[in-house]
Amino acid sequence: MANCRLSIVIPVYKDQKNLDRILTELSANPPGDTWEVIVVDDGSPTPLELTPSTPDHFKLYRNETRNGAASARNTGVNQAQGEFIILLSVFLKIPKDYVTQSSNFIETHTFDIAQHLLTKEAGLVADHFQAFLVDQRGRTSNVGLDLPVKNTQFGAAIFKKAIFTEVDGFDENMNHYGGHELDLAYRLDQKGYSTRIIIEGLPLERVKLETHENVRTRLQEYGRIGLPALLKKHPELKNTILPYTTLWLVLKLLGLPKLIENRLARHVEQDWELPNKKYRLYLHLIVRNAWDAR
């Protein structure tokens, strides 16, 4: 594909149903030789497949063992032929003019990393906590042209392959939840690739929501494993990710962090409608208390 401009990379683990859906949605976009889709099966026990009707510019690669998101994403980007990479999650709903809108965005904006805002699919039932998690509108916004590193995510993002390659992509040693995305954003920032923006006007809908239990488990894993690995590599980030050290020590002496986390957890389980700042505090407490207990 000598004229390839965009490579859409989708890592997938054990989800043929959503893979079939997202590929059908992408297939509805205008055909052409300027874009491609690369699916990476991250070691699913039953290998994933493309349907016979899948367009020729859709490719499937497979990691024989499950190596995690960092490895799957690297595999996909390494196989990509496009100048720009679009990383997408298999749980996202893709509009039929997505490729055209993304191309137009690239042509009219200057950025190093651009990321979509995510919302809930219309009609998808969510409790208050799930609604907070999935709807990023109002929680994430452009700050000039420098979205904070810790708010940079790659579940739905666009960037140049050249800058990704320059910093050697995602760190595959960070194969537990969390860490590898912030690590990449920070390394790009250190190289001067710090223009990070939101893709205004093109939010993407999630078709599957995470449960409270799953979110807690993943954030606790991040606090115990992902975050320590990140801070071992970049100790200078500790005050950014774990601020207010002195205040935190005082609160710990009083036994308050775990007490507040448990109280907020009960409120979430009972589906209380909490202010966004309390949900954000709850997520921070899960990670920080797991960090302290490791």
Q: What is the pLDDT of residue 169?
A: 97
Q: What is the pLDDT of residue 37?
A: 97
Q: What is the pLDDT of residue 145?
A: 58
Least Cα distance to 212 among 220, 204, 222 occurs for 220
Answer whether residue 1 is part of any domain: no
Q: Do 153 and 235 fall within a single domain?
A: no
Instruction: Identify the sign of the CA torsion 159, 106, 98, 145.
Output: positive
Q: Do 281 and 200 fall within a single domain?
A: no
Answer whether residue 273 is part of any domain: yes
Are the C-beta atoms of residues 4 and 81 closer than 8 Å to each other?
yes
Least Cα distance to 87 among 72, 105, 100, 66 occurs for 72
Q: Give the chain's radius of gyration (CA, Å).
A: 20
Q: Tell me which residue range forms the domain holding 260.
A: 212-293
Q: Do 255 and 160 fall within a single domain?
A: no
Answer whether residue 198 is part of any domain: yes
Q: What is the pLDDT of residue 176?
A: 79
Q: Do 61 and 178 fall within a single domain?
A: yes
Residue ranges for the chain with pLDDT beneath 70: 1-2, 136-145
**CATH no. for residue 23?**
3.90.550.10
Q: Do 32 and 77 fall within a single domain?
A: yes
Stated pTM of the model = 0.92
The DSSP string of 83-151 is: SEEEEE-TTEE--TTHHHHHHHHHHH---SEEE--EEEPTT----HHHHHHH--TTTS---TTB--GGG
Q: Which residues have CB under 8 Å from 284's CB, separation 6+?
A: none
Q: What is the pLDDT of residue 11?
A: 97
Q: What is the pLDDT of residue 148?
A: 81
Q: Do 177 and 233 fall within a single domain?
A: no
| Residue 63, helix vs strand vs coil | strand
- pLDDT tens digits, residue range 21-55? 999 999 999 888 899 999 999 999 999 999 888 99
Least Cα distance to 98 among 197, 10, 208, 195 occurs for 10
Q: ∠ at Cα 199 (33, 136), nearest 5°?
A: 130
Q: What is the pLDDT of residue 7?
A: 97
- Let me know if 246 is exposed, middle or buried by CB neighbors in 10 A (0-12, 13-18, 19+): exposed
Q: Do 154 and 239 fall within a single domain?
A: no
Q: What is the pLDDT of residue 29?
A: 93
Q: Do 132 and 154 fall within a single domain?
A: yes
Kindly state the tokens that stand for 49: 């497949």
Q: What is the pLDDT of residue 151?
A: 81
- pLDDT tens digits, residue range 117-133? 898 898 889 999 999 99
Tally the domains of the chain. 2
